[in-house]
Structure 1
Amino acid sequence: MAAILPRTVCRAAEAALSLRSVPPRGAGHHVRSLGGVSAACCKAGAASVEFVPWHNGGGILHRAASVDPTAVVEAGAVVHSGAVLGKEVVVGSGAVVGPSVSIGNSTRIGYNVVLSNCSVGEFCTIHNGACIGQDGFGFFVDEDGQVKKKPQMLYARIGDHVEIGANTCVDRGSWRETMIGDHTKIDNLVQIGHNVVIGKCCMICGQVGIAGSATLGDYVTLGGRVAIRDHVSIVSKVRLAANSSVTKDIQKPGDYGGFPAVPINEWRRQTANLRLFSKKDGVKR
């Protein structure tokens, strides 16, 4: 527990275990039922334990969280204030559900997942170690040559029936919200930058990198280690071969490959010609 929580939260959890039967002082106003945990707005200066143990799984919840009684929060997991967990949600050990995060019904959150500034739809699976909703990589150089951070204030929105692989990262938005459409499947070790919009039913293989503000249509398939430049738009029903790099908009459906990505048949001709030109005798067949 100490490895994943600040000492103050650990102490709060220990205090909560010893005071479970004692109601908090000043809990006379704004009381609501949160799946078996009472949340109260306490008077200033009154002693109160903010985090309490959850009856189903052994994790701890903030009193201002709203959790369905059927949700499971496993030991070592933490749910912060304002978070909303729907029916039959499972939050694995070591996971952190940040303030105001919402998780839809029947979604499973793996071990050591971190959710912040985001919403996750219904029937999703977020595998171990994924991070969703952290700040994107946005900086600029001012007149004095100092590197300044651009504000990252918006959210990441994950649709229904989405699967996100282990150690994948989805950044929150800055000028528009990062969005992943329904039924999209994302492999392990994928980086999705801020302001990226991905349509429904997309397939994104391992080690893909999508730079900020890119837009993908529906039914897009990205092979392993595909790279997509920032602010690029890809139309629906495009398939990209592994190790391809998209440097400009793709406006027609079809198969593409290469660096930069071109229609697949053109890429194959380029590859064949390169092999012929590189022969030692220099003779073109």
Structure 2
Amino acid sequence: MAVRLLSRSRRTLVRLPLHRSGFRHVSDAPSDLSDEQMVKDTSAFVRWNNGGGLFHRSARIDPTAVVEVGAVVHSDSVLGSDVRIGSGTVVGPSVSIGQSTKVGYNAVLSNCSVGQFSTIHNGVCVGQDGFGFFMNEEGHILKKPQALHVRIGDNVEIGANTCIDRGSWRDTVIGDHTKIDNLVQIGHNVIIGKCCMLCGQVGIAGSVTLGDYVTLGGRVAIRDHVSIASKVRLAANSCVTKDLAESGDYGGFPAVPIHEWRRQSAKLRRLCKNSP
């Protein structure tokens, strides 16, 4: 089958092939599959009436859910009532999304569960492999297994182009009512408590644990395997290099109690002013 396109510049007719497989190009399929197997594979995806997107026949989707045209819902996924999936978004196999959660355009969800009444904005990636490698005796860099999941609670908001890696030795967890800004990186095995606020360009390395009601200003960095107590607030551009066991305000690099950081900053300004 072909479609006739009219070129605006030369006013000529061009014939382009249309592939009958509604989900993927034949060349994208594994080479060891026969033509019959490929047809069976792609035919498992059908169009969702409420929005026009594609879904796998094994997916469980509430009739009130909207899957917009261009979105794809893979096998064994679960979409609750009033869920909305934006165009271009991919809901991977075995993903579950709770009631009234909204996912924007061009997001990718895999190896994860999302609670109720949450919002995931455009371009978010959840559930991809974390950055875990080791060097063997021959000096080769090998990948550590990344086989667990991401668990996102209720009433969570995740800003555009944020990335949340799945766990390797424990699930990555985002607590209820936590709000995450754009362009935030959350590494594998991270646990974030409830009602936390993460501002833009925050970077959290693997296996970090945050308590409840933690606030991270813009561009805060947290090194791996650090624990931060509940009700800690970190000033913008701070870097946490060791555990913060007490609630309060912190700032600087490395992060120290806020009053100490202010004294350091004032002293540094005086030294610079008095230097020749």
Normalising by the smaller structure, the TM-score range is 0.7 to 0.9
Are residues 12 and 45 of structure 1, via their aligned partners in 2, closer, same or farther at CA, if it must alter by over 3 Å? closer
SS in 2 for 1:151: coil
1:106-145 matched pairs, under 5 angstroms: 106-145=100-139
1:18-167 matched pairs, under 5 angstroms: 48=40, 49-167=43-161
Q: Which residue of 1 aligns with 2:179?
A: 185
Q: Which residue of 2 aligns with 1:22?
A: none
SS in 1 for 2:55: strand
* Separation in structure 1 between the aligned mates of residue 37 and residue 131 of structure 2, nearest angstrom: 40
Are residues 46 and 115 of structure 1, via their aligned partners in 2, closer, same or farther at CA, if it must alter by over 3 Å? closer
* Separation in structure 1 between the aligned mates of residue 50 and residue 263 of structure 2, nearest angstrom: 60
Indicate conservation of the 8 Å contact 1:209/1:225, yes or no: yes
* Separation in structure 2 between the aligned mates of residue 12 and residue 85 of structure 1, nearest angstrom: 24
* Separation in structure 2 between the aligned mates of residue 251 and residue 62 of structure 1, nearest angstrom: 47
Give the Å deviation of 1:46: 11
SS in 1 for 2:22: helix
Q: Which residue of 1 aligns with 2:5?
A: none
RMSD: 1.7
State which of 241, 246, 251 in structure 2 corresponds to 1:252.
Answer: 246
The runs of at least 4 consecutive aligned structure 1 residues that moved more than 3 Å come to 44-48
Give the Å deviation of 1:12: 3.0
Indicate conservation of the 8 Å contact 1:12/1:50, yes or no: no
State which of 2, 6, 12 in structure 1 corresponds to 2:21.
Answer: 12
Tell me which amino acid in the other structure corresponds to 2:154.
D
Q: Which residue of 2 aligns with 1:23?
A: none
Tell me which amino acid in the other structure corresponds to 1:13.
G
* Separation in structure 2 between the aligned mates of residue 146 and residue 210 of structure 1, nearest angstrom: 27
| Runs (5+) with no aligned partner, structure 1 | 1-9, 16-43
How many pairs were matched up? 245
Are residues 277 and 78 of structure 1, via their aligned partners in 2, closer, same or farther at CA, if it must alter by over 3 Å? same
Relative to the length of structure 2, the TM-score reads: 0.86
Give the Å deviation of 1:277: 1.1
Indicate conservation of the 8 Å contact 1:112/1:129, yes or no: yes
Q: Sequence identity of aligned pairs in percent?
A: 73
Relative to the length of structure 1, the TM-score reads: 0.83
Give the Å deviation of 1:155: 0.1
Tell me which amino acid in the other structure corresponds to 1:74.
E
Tell me which amino acid in the other structure corresponds to 1:233.
S
* Separation in structure 2 between the aligned mates of residue 139 and residue 45 of structure 1, nearest angstrom: 35
Tell me which amino acid in the other structure corresponds to 1:125.
T
* Separation in structure 2 between the aligned mates of residue 140 and residue 14 of structure 1, nearest angstrom: 37
Indicate conservation of the 8 Å contact 2:21/2:39, yes or no: no
| Runs (5+) with no aligned partner, structure 2 | 1-18, 25-35
Is 1:198 aligned to 2:220, yes or no? Answer: no
- Give CA deviations for 1:144-181 in whole Å, capped at 9, x if unaligned: 00000000000000000000000000000000000000
Q: Which residue of 2 aligns with 1:172?
A: 166
Indicate conservation of the 8 Å contact 1:12/1:51, yes or no: no
Is 1:235 aligned to 2:226, yes or no? Answer: no
Tell me which amino acid in the other structure corresponds to 1:225.
R
SS in 2 for 1:13: coil
Indicate conservation of the 8 Å contact 2:68/2:85, yes or no: yes
* Separation in structure 2 between the aligned mates of residue 11 and residue 225 of structure 1, nearest angstrom: 47
Tell me which amino acid in the other structure corresponds to 2:109.
L
SS in 2 for 1:279: helix
Give the Å deviation of 1:281: 4.4
Q: Which residue of 1 aligns with 2:9?
A: none
- Give CA deviations for 1:108-143 in whole Å, capped at 9, x if unaligned: 000000000000000000000000000000000110
